[in-house]
Structure 1
Amino acid sequence: MNKGAIRLYNKLKRKQYMPKNICEIGVYLPQESNVIEFINRDISTTLVEADPNYIIEIEKFFANRKNITIIEAAVYDFHGKIELCRRDSSTFISQLEASPALINDNCKINENEVFIANSIQFSEIDSGGFDLISIDIEGAEWFVIKHMVSRPDIISIETHGKYYTNPKITDILDWMKTNDYLIWYKNESDSVFVKKGVFRVSSVEKIQLFLWSIENSLIRVKKLFKNH
């Protein structure tokens, strides 16, 4: 069960907002999809996953669903071939400077864990109609945003987790500001943004964000003491 997926669905439901066309980049196992609650309610969804092992599971799990489009590809900065590393529940682009596995687990890339995947720019599959996009590709999220044609109402991005901070967080936040997005809420790993004017971020939600920032700062202070 993906608690983050349930929370995203319930929070949008309370805002009386429901997307019509979703894209998730970086699915992992199908039952762990960040948008599974929307899929189960027959909302049109495009699922993008780079790992062929997970593609098999996704195709089996959603075999009877007509509202799903599945694309096997790594979304990055160019069209071609790219090396990925598979480590436990994490599949990430080998050449990245940082990913959750590299930072939190001190992962060292071994030859028997790497494979070659097709890479695409997100603009190749984005015609401009997505109104909710969820991105969790282990440090490469910026390259989805960079080539995104749509300006969705809701964008969920993996930006942090324990000691990890997305290596392109400055680019991501600058893009959000330039394109009129507000931070709505954060959970253990994701930041969820809403396009200005879609709905109001409440005072309570702003307080929750402030408290989250304090908690996150304490985690980073703990890391500093741990390293010394």
Structure 2
Amino acid sequence: MKSDRLNDTLYQKCKKKGLNFNHVAEVGVWSPETSNVLGFIQDGIRATLVEPLPDKIESIKQYFGNNQNVKLFPFAIYEREGELDLFNKGASTFAGELKSSPALVNDKYIAKPEDKVTVQAKLFSSIDDGTIDLLSVDTEGCEWYVLKFMSSRPTVISIETHGKKYINPFIKEIERWMKDNDYVVWYKEKSDTVYMKTGAIKLKMWEKMKLIF
């Protein structure tokens, strides 16, 4: 069967390194076709998905149907529980309480009332059972709130940290957490930094050099 995966880099890199996972998670799925963990799901691996936008929740449900390995949580992950206002900018949708996000920095977006969507927010600890071994987070500036309340210690963590002029507003907290919990950078993409547990993967010399230059 031909793959319909549109965002395959993380999956392919993990495959090439011989990494195996039992439980993958993605916070901020948006579209199932562009999911960072789609390849793993298609391999039959258990998946936890988090997406707060109502229309995207429906598309995810339709895409995965009755797949018993996929559990979808239809809310946002934040630093507190309760209602949260988002500004719907498609793949760049962000929490209204943030002072910095890709839409605000790169697109110079100015909040409009008609773009506001109110959703429910939960702490990541409310859904984390401690078994996640691969995590992907793309929440347009709220990534830190996943790490802050996470009990799992995944082998691989992909985080949106940068992009054009944008720098994650919690980059210092993210980097400190990674250091304190024994993670190092595996590789970087145009907007994501992918971390790994120290010693989990043996990097080739060219991979190490790519991180420097």
Q: TM-score, normalised by structure 2?
A: 0.95
Match of 2:163 in 1: 161
What is the number of residues matched between the two proteins? 210
TM-score with structure 1 setting the length: 0.89
Matches within 5 A, 1:16-35: 16-35=18-37
How far the C-alpha of 1:2 sits from its partner, in A, is: 5.8
Question: Which residues of structure 1 form unaligned runs of 5+?
Answer: 212-228
- Counterpart code for 2:136: S
CA distance in structure 1 between the aligned counterparts of 2:72 and 2:203, rounded to whole angstroms = 33
* TM-superposed deviation, 1:139: 0.4
Q: Which has the higher helix share?
A: 1
Q: Which amino acid is the alignment partner of residue 59 of structure 2? A: E
Question: 2:58 matched to which residue of 1?
Answer: 56
% identity of equivalent residues: 42
Match of 2:197 in 1: 195
Post-superposition offset of 1:202:
2.6
Deviation per CA, 1:39-94: give whole Å up to 9, x if none.
Answer: 11111001100111100100001104221000001100011111111013321100
- In structure 1, how many angstroms separate the alpha carbons of the residues matched to 2:90 and 2:24? 27
Structure 1 position 197, deviation (Å): 2.5
Output aligned runs, 1:1-228, within 5 Å.
5-211=7-213
- The one-letter code of the counterpart of 1:189 is S
CA distance in structure 2 between the partners assigned to 1:157 and 1:104 by the alignment: 18
CA–CA separation in structure 1 for the residues paired with 2:150 and 2:44: 24
Whole-angstrom distance in 2 between the partners of 1:148 and 1:204? 32
Q: What CA distance in whole angstroms lies between the structure 1 residues aligned with 2:90 and 2:55?
A: 12
Structure 1 segments, 4+ long, off by >4 Å, are none
Q: CA RMSD in A?
A: 1.2
Q: Distance in 2 between matches of 1:98 and 1:201?
A: 33
Which whole-Å deviations, capped at 9, do the CAs of 1:179-227 have from their partners, x for residues lacking one? 000100001110000001222233211111122xxxxxxxxxxxxxxxx
